[in-house]
Amino acid sequence: SQQGEEDPQALSIQEGENATMNCSYKTSINNLQWYRQNSGRGLVHLILIRSNEREKHSGRLRVTLDTSKKSSSLLITASRAADTASYFCATDYEGGSEKLVFGKGTKLTVNP
Amino acid sequence: KAGVTQTPRYLIKTRGQQVTLSCSPISGHRSVSWYQQTPGQGLQFLFEYFSETQRNKGNFPGRFSGRQFSNSRSEMNVSTLELGDSALYLCASREGGYGYTFGSGTRLTVV
């Protein structure tokens, strides 16, 4: 079964708006990662947040992690049409299993 | 720095055949992982290799196998193909506790 569950499953916004995606997971983790996938191509690593971190920024991306609630959020500010893609959270289990467990993803559409 | 290279990009096979997919990781990356992506099951972990040793295996039947060579290149093999094996197969590499770099994938269609 999937470890992470993204919410919402689909999100449609206008260019310039912010997009927020949420992810919940089930067990203790080493870190949580967010990836983007364009139209069934390979995954692009966006950001990694470790279990002892609460917030991380990278350009227009902001990720938060709440280990007590086993949840994370990805915020994309000032979205662009090029941000249209599917976004996945993936958890790296505590114990160094070298195995990512992915959620089913959020399909983001940014309308020009 | 070259990215993760997967070959071939597309493949069509007949039920019962076998297939071998190839992955060349980023130079210097010793960990190579394989994932299967389908519309129904999403992204699922197949296996992970490090320095030619399989360290982890996902919940897939024995028809799915893999190996890693001394130059870190990896191959995965699927024998006795079934229609349900149609998927995008993704390879990823990393070194250290950072994010993974994925290849563009191999789209396998079983007819």
Over residues B21-75, the pLDDT tens digits come to: 999 999 999 999 999 999 999 999 999 999 999 999 999 999 999 999 999 999 9
Between CA B104 and CA B88 the distance in angstroms is 9
Burial class of residue B44 (count of CB atoms within 10 Å of its CB; 0-12, 13-18, 19+): middle
Over residues B63-92, the pLDDT tens digits come to: 999 999 999 999 999 999 999 999 999 999
Shortest distance, CA B20 to any CA of chain A (angstroms): 19
Q: Smallest Cα–Cα separation from A97: which of A5, A6, A31, A11?
A: A31
Note whether B101 contacts A: Cβ–Cβ < 8 A. yes
DSSP string, B69-83: -TTS-EEEEE-S--G
Note whether B60 contacts A: Cβ–Cβ < 8 A. no
pLDDT at A95 over 80: no
Note whether A12 contacts B: Cβ–Cβ < 8 A. no
* pLDDT value of residue B107: 97
Nearest CA in chain A to B105: A42
pLDDT at B111 over 80: yes
* pLDDT value of residue A67: 95
Residues of B in contact with A47 (CB under 8 A): 99
Over residues A39-89, the pLDDT tens digits come to: 878 999 999 999 999 999 999 999 999 999 999 999 999 999 999 999 999
Between CA B6 and CA A95 the distance in angstroms is 29
* pLDDT value of residue A2: 47
Is there a contact between B42 and A97 if contact means CB atoms under 8 Å apart?
no
Nearest to A2 among B42, B100, B107 (CB): B42
Question: How does B7-16 read in b/e, with b if 16+ C-beta sit within 10 Å?
Answer: eeeeeebeee
Q: Provide the strand spans (E) within chain A.
A: 5-7, 10-14, 19-24, 29-37, 43-50, 55-58, 61-66, 71-76, 85-93, 100-102, 106-111
> Three-state DSSP class for B45?
strand
Is there a contact between A35 and B58 if contact means CB atoms under 8 Å apart?
no
Is there a contact between A99 and B102 if contact means CB atoms under 8 Å apart?
no
